[in-house]
């Protein structure tokens, strides 16, 4: 890749941004506790203490607003694990698969450091280095902390981030604090050991293997203790939970309360991924995965309690780049060896200052554009799917969309609630019937799909499925268009022209994302 | 009888390598193997063999019945 192309890629990545309003004054029309919290979850600095905002504003996983602007990378230096989860299989390796635990190669701390510098010099908006497995980083403390030490020395401007199952966490909190690791994610799927026994076959603790309820008791105690210790030291803590219907679905509401009360800053409830071909225990047992509606209902139920993360892409253990746009294939061990590293902190700083300026300008533009929807309340809420390349605009062709952003629209505004990964309809220039049907299944809970352009056949298929294809707002701001569309929808419902009916459910795709050529 | 690792099942996670009290486990071609001469089945160290206990894939660290016990129990 030459410098020009690199520059243009970086710019595209930067332009792929979207700003969520820092303050959404119109939301006050529905100022229930829940509505307010949801507003806070999407908003930025206005709701956060300055110290916290400074820590999250450039972190793509912690800030919904940052994830279109800043990139992160994971280095796979931590293969070993100290427990077994029924939803995990680290043996699986597929270049097209985007799933935690999956990696194509394992690195030594030295190789990882070179990779970080190579990526940081080519992707100047890369702001965060995370270590997230494929095993547990704290079951590999030497490799994990050695990597952080080397990177901190070579590239002090990169934020360090760690993801753990929490079993060994209390033993390492001091080291985490000493190495200035600002963000920690703990995966907590239960606080009730009986439920835990159905998720974790065993743990390895104090040189012994424990199983069943005994194992789950130790695990939950250690996780919550670790969380408390991190909070006490002012280290920002996000909690990940995997929603497993029939096992911990409703229980995660309790988990949410427990982690909130111990200082967790953000809760990310993710859908279980369990296709038989993944070879996980749940996959082989045919454990059901949640539907989009179930997942959203659970996230909504927790939202009154704390900030919910809804833009998680459940990335690979060696992911590189913006969320949802994996570039790990460009930075394999083989390619890294031949790369010349020109790490220039000043150039990175200047580039990121540019991003911040653009973010500020866009906030102003969006504020000016957002005054259109009048107040007034109604219970009607609909979901819409949006094909977007970023920048907060409806600017993607239906057939080119790799994923759709889902917004919940009501009289009080439009709010980002989800994203739906879909296969490429236009793979190789010809649309496959199955792919189109799969897209319809993925967004079947949406009333409309907003696109920049759409072809004849998808239009008729979508209409047949009762999803309105909307292309009249091509290249306009998502929120404003959604509100304008909803106003006319609402008027038609009010005048009796159409009847509002709830839509069906959306299927969460389990198959690998098809890589883009 | 020493333990052995069934390489077709080994995920190469390296969890066993650091837990082995005898430093009998090492990497070979992406998976791990046990040096039978060094393996003591953890007798005298732990209640159960550490490679078995820490291996994320069940029935991957197993007794090698083809070999005699390398070192009698303490």
**B18·A204 Cβ contact <8 A:** no
**A207·B19 Cβ contact <8 A:** yes
A241-249: average pLDDT: 95
Q: Alpha-carbon distance A316 to A133, whole Å?
A: 9
| Alpha helices, DSSP H, located in A62-191 | 109-122, 141-154, 169-178
| Mutation choice for B interface testing from A91, A107, A203 by most B CBs within 10 A | A91
Structure tokens at A238: 């996000």
Q: Name chain A contacts of B17, Cβ cutoff 8 Å.
A: 80
Structure tokens at B10: 């080994």
| Predicted pLDDT at A432 | 52
pLDDT reading at A192 higher than 90? yes
Contact partners, residue A91, CB within 8 Å, separation at least 6: A279, B11, B57
Residue B19: closest C-alpha in chain A? A207
Residue A141: closest C-alpha in chain B? B18
| Predicted pLDDT at A366 | 65
Structure tokens at A418: 């989800």
Q: Decide the pairing of beta strands A71-74 and A126-131.
A: parallel
A433-441: average pLDDT: 79
Give A51's pLDDT tier (boundaries 50, 70, 90): confident
Structure tokens at A194: 């009986």
Whether A207 has its CB under 8 Å from any CB of chain B: the answer is yes
Burial of A217 per CB tally in 10 Å (0-12, 13-18, 19+): middle
Q: What is the pLDDT of residues B25-66, one digit of tens each?
A: 998 887 899 999 999 999 888 888 999 988 888 889 999 988
Q: How far is A376 from chain B (nearest CA, A)?
A: 56
A391-416: average pLDDT: 88
Q: How far is B59 from chain A (nearest CA, A)?
A: 14
Whether B26 has its CB under 8 Å from any CB of chain A: the answer is no
Give A436's pLDDT tier (boundaries 50, 70, 90): confident
A44-65: average pLDDT: 76
The answer to whether the beta carbons of residues A19 and A362 sit under 8 Å apart is: yes
Whether A82 has its CB under 8 Å from any CB of chain B: the answer is yes
Q: Alpha-carbon distance A281 to A210, whole Å?
A: 18
pTM for this prediction: 0.81
Listed range (A54-68, A361-375, A395-409) with the worst mean pLDDT: A361-375
| Predicted pLDDT at A505 | 82
- The conformational region for residue B37 under phi > 0 = left, psi -120 to 50 = alpha, else beta, is alpha
Query: What is the DSSP track for A186-230?
Result: EE---SSHHHHHHH-SEEEETTEEEEHHHHHHHHHHHHHHHHHHH
| Predicted pLDDT at A141 | 92
Q: What is the 3-state secondary structure (H, E, C) of A451-478?
A: CCECCHHHHHHHHHHCCEEECCCCCCEH
Q: Name chain A contacts of B46, Cβ cutoff 8 Å.
A: 207-208
At residue A363, the 3 state secondary structure works out as: helix
Q: What is the pLDDT of residues A84-113, one digit of tens each?
A: 899 988 765 666 666 777 777 888 999 999
**B12·A79 Cβ contact <8 A:** yes
Interface of B with A in 3-22 (CB under 8 A): 11-15, 17-19
For this complex, say whether ipTM is above 0.95.
no
Q: Which residue has the higher pLDDT, A63 or B5?
A: B5
Burial A31-58 (b: 16+ CB within 10 A, else e): eeeebbbbbbbbbbbebbeeeeeebbbb
Distances (CA, A) of A448 to A81, A382, A405, A408, A414: 44, 9, 12, 11, 13
Q: Name chain B contacts of A140, Cβ cutoff 8 Å.
A: 14
Give A434's pLDDT tier (boundaries 50, 70, 90): low
Give A426's pLDDT tier (boundaries 50, 70, 90): very low
Name the residue among A227, A236, A215, A289 with its Cα closest to residue A261. Answer: A227
* Mean pLDDT of chain A, nearest integer: 82
**A90·B13 Cβ contact <8 A:** yes
A246-275: average pLDDT: 93
Whether B67 has its CB under 8 Å from any CB of chain A: the answer is no
Q: Alpha-carbon distance A227 to A225, whole Å?
A: 5
| Predicted pLDDT at A4 | 40
Residue A105: closest C-alpha in chain B? B30
| Predicted pLDDT at A137 | 94
Which range has highest mean pLDDT (A160-164, A385-389, A492-496)?
A: A160-164
Q: What is the pLDDT of residues A255-265, one digit of tens each?
A: 999 999 999 98
Q: What is the pLDDT of residues A295-318, one digit of tens each?
A: 999 999 998 767 888 888 888 888
């Amino acid at each position: 890749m030459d410098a020009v192309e690199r520059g243009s890629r970086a710019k595209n990545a930067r332009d792929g941004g979207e700003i969520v309003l820092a303050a959404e004054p119109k939301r006050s029309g529905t100022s229930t506790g829940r509505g307010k919290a949801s507003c806070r979850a999407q908003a930025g600095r206005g709701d956060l203490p300055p110290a916290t905002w400074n820590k999250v504003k450039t972190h793509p996983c912690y800030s919904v607003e940052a994830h279109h602007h800043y990139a992160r990378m994971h280095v796979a230096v931590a293969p070993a694990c100290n427990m077994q989860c029924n939803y995990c299989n680290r043996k699986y390796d597929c270049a097209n698969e985007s799933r935690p635990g999956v990696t194509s190669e394992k690195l030594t701390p030295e190789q990882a450091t070179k990779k970080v510098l190579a990526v940081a010099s080519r992707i100047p908006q890369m702001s965060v280095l995370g270590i997230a497995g494929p095993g547990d980083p704290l079951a590999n403390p030497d490799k994990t902390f050695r990597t952080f030490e080397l990177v901190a020395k070579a590239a002090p401007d990169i934020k360090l981030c760690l993801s753990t199952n929490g079993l060994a966490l209390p033993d390492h909190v001091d080291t985490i604090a000493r190495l200035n690791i600002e963000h920690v994610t703990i995966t907590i799927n239960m606080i009730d050991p009986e439920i835990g026994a159905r998720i974790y076959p065993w743990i390895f603790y104090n040189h012994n293997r424990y199983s069943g309820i005994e194992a789950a008791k130790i695990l939950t105690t250690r996780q919550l203790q670790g969380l408390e210790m991190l909070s006490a030291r002012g280290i920002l803590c996000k909690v990940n939970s995997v929603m497993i219907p029939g096992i911990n679905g409703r229980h995660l509401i309790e988990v949410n309360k427990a982690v909130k009360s111990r200082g967790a800053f953000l809760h990310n409830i993710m859908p279980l991924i369990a296709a038989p071909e993944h070879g996980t225990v749940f996959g082989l047992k045919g454990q059901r995965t949640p539907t989009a509606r179930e997942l959203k209902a659970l996230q909504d139920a927790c939202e009154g309690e704390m900030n919910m993360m809804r833009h998680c892409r459940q990335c690979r253990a060696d992911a590189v780049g913006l969320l949802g746009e994996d570039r790990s294939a460009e930075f394999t061990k083989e390619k890294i060896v031949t790369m010349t590293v020109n790490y220039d902190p000043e150039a990175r700083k200047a580039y990121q200052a540019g991003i911040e300026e653009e973010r500020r300008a866009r906030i102003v533009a969006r504020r000016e554009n957002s005054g259109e929807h009048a107040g007034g309340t109604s219970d009607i809420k609909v979901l819409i799917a949006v094909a977007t390349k970023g920048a907060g605009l409806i600017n993607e062709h239906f057939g080119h969309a790799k994923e759709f952003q889902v917004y919940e629209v009501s009289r009080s505004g439009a709010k980002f609630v989800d994203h739906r990964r879909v296969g490429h309809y236009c793979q190789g220039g010809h649309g496959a019937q199955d792919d189109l049907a799969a897209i319809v299944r993925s967004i079947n809970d949406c009333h409309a799909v907003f696109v920049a352009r759409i072809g004849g056949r998808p239009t008729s298929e979508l209409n047949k499925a009762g999803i309105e294809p909307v292309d009249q707002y091509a290249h306009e701001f998502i929120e404003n268009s959604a509100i304008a569309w909803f106003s006319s929808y609402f008027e038609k419902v009010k005048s009796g022209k159409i009847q509002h009916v709830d839509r069906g459910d959306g299927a969460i795709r389990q198959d690998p994302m098809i890589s883009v050529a | 009888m020493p333990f052995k690792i069934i390489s077709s099942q080994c995920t190469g996670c390296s969890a066993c390598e650091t837990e082995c009290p005898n430093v009998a486990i090492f990497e070979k071609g992406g998976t791990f193997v046990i040096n039978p001469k060094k393996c003591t089945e953890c007798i005298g160290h732990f209640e159960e063999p550490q490679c078995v206990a820490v291996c994320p894939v069940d029935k991957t660290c197993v007794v090698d019945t083809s070999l005699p016990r390398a070192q009698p129990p303490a």
